[in-house]
Amino acid sequence: MRPRRVAQVVVLTVLVLGVLITPWRGLGSRVKNFAAWQVQAGTPDQTNLMIAMADGVRLATDVYLPGADAPLPTVLMRLPYGKRHYGEVRFWVDKLVPRGFAVVVQDMRGRHGSEGVFAPYPNAGPDGAATLDWIVAQPWSNGRVGTLGCSALGESQLMLAAQGHPAHRAMVPIASGGAIGCLGGSYGYFGAFEGGVFGLAASAGWFGGAGGKTAEFSGHHPIEPASALPHLPLIDVVAQMRSDPTDYEDFLRNFGDADYWRKAGYVTGQEPFATPALFIDSWHDPGIRSTFLLAKAVADRGVETHMIATSGTHCGYLGSDQDTVVGDLPVSPQTRLGFVETIIGFLDQHLADGPVQDLPRLSYYALVEDRWRTAEAWPPATAKPVQFYLAEGKSLSQVPPTGAPARWSLISALLHKSGPDHSSPFPGRIYPTASVI
């Protein structure tokens, strides 16, 4: 069956996973963070340096240097969102430079000030490695580089780590589940698929809002999901939002092409990982299962690996240190982990011979219990799986069905074009929702 046909066949499952459970990648926390993080980063010491990659394409790069004497440990952040206008960059520049780190920030290929054509992520590994070559050749570098960042800034770290560059001494990939490929049977590919099922919520929103392939189209693109969602076939949805090309259509056409995804660099589990890692994700991030699998893939190579699973949503790790509630559940102030010091301590240990950090293999915030727990692996050895079954009355039950299994049918505004203003089952949110009958 051709991938496009697969996408049409699984539309009902997509709507359950995407519309009812997961906010659009471009309309949920990711776009909210994007809007909130549109701030001007401080003035770099070196700005818009055009660094040549292996194929001659030049990428725009800023360098922030501390007042400390060289040689310096360096933190690299590569992103598709604009190196001078993304708040996560500003936040970490403000935290790291006063602590003696050089910070190098780079627009990914085809984005903002960089040359070339963007795609997620066939060039992330080679371009990252070429940038490391440049960093270690600078007179201010001590030859050790760490990487840091959330979402796309985290996913690309895994592609770089797969290159095995000797200068890549530490990575902190946050909410990086989109880096997963066929590892563990996930077939996730940028979070566009869930176990091989196309996720409209996790792909159309991002490509519609931020998926431009060249610099002139790399800014945030306003989207109108209400007018785009009713359109079928799904492969044409993003074309209703923007006229310039994106990778959305290629993702759908090539789902069954293993060679396409291999060249794109998504993690299979065969990579020669050697970079110590601190993974961070949030329980309400749709990619957290993939993050657990990625952390295990690195640890299985005998590499120092830690993971923290906190409360909150996609890229909400810093906010979890200020949250007082998660959904309807209270969060006590005494449970705040202190992510900034944890991350800086990890980087300092591996890049500048700082104190060895006493980090568990796995730290996870236990919802309801409102406390932190530790474990050697996920799931913890004491965990007991619970099986749920579809039941009558639109419910879940732990009692196995005795007769014919209950059937849930989904009738969607996508199919009936009945408009976007149906109330959703989530208070405070409006989606073009479906009815479960």
Euclidean distance between CA atoms 427 and 405, whole angstroms: 30
- Predicted pLDDT at 414: 31
In angstroms, what is the C-alpha Rg of the chain?
22
CA within 13 Å, CB half, 65: 15
Euclidean distance between CA atoms 79 and 302, whole angstroms: 28
CB 290 within 8 A of CB 188: yes
**Regions in the chain scoring below 70 on pLDDT:** 1-43, 404-437
Domain residue limits, the chain: 37-182+266-375
Nearest to 109 by CA among 120, 100, 118, 101: 118
CB 198 within 8 A of CB 6: yes
Contacts of 49 (CB under 8 A, 6+ apart): 60, 61, 62, 63
Core vs surface per residue 70-102: b (16+ CB within 10 A) or e:
ebbbbbbbbbbbbbbbbbbbbebbebbbeebbb
Euclidean distance between CA atoms 200 and 380, whole angstroms: 32
**Residue 230, Cα to own-chain centre: how many angstroms?**
27
- Predicted pLDDT at 3: 34
- Predicted pLDDT at 40: 43
- Predicted pLDDT at 60: 98
3-state secondary structure the chain: CCHHHHHHHCHHHHHHHHHHHCCCCCCCHHHHHHHHCCCCCCCCCEEEEEEECCCCCEEEEEEECCCCCCCEEEEEEEECCCCCCCHHHHHHHHHHHHHCCEEEEEECCCCCCCCCCCCCCCCHHHHHHHHHHHHHCCCCEEEEEEEEEECHHHHHHHHHHCCCCCCEEEEEEECCHHHECCHHHCCCCCCCEECCEECHHHHHHHHHHHCCCCHHHCCCCCCCHHHHCCCCCHHHCHHHCCCCCCCHHHHHHCCCCHHHHHHHCCECCCCCCCCCEEEEEECCCCCHHHHHHHHHHHHCCCCCEEEEEECCCCCCCCHHHCCCEECCEECCHHHCCCHHHHHHHHHHHHHHCCCCCCCCCEEEEECCCCEEEEECCCCCCCCCCCCCEEECCCEEECCCCCCCCCCCCEEEHHHHCCCCCCECCCCCCECCCEEEC
Q: Which CATH class is domain 37-182+266-375?
A: alpha beta
How many Å is the maximal CA-CA distance in the chain? 75
Contacts of 368 (CB under 8 A, 6+ apart): 329
Amino acid at 400: P
Contacts of 342 (CB under 8 A, 6+ apart): 278, 308, 357, 359
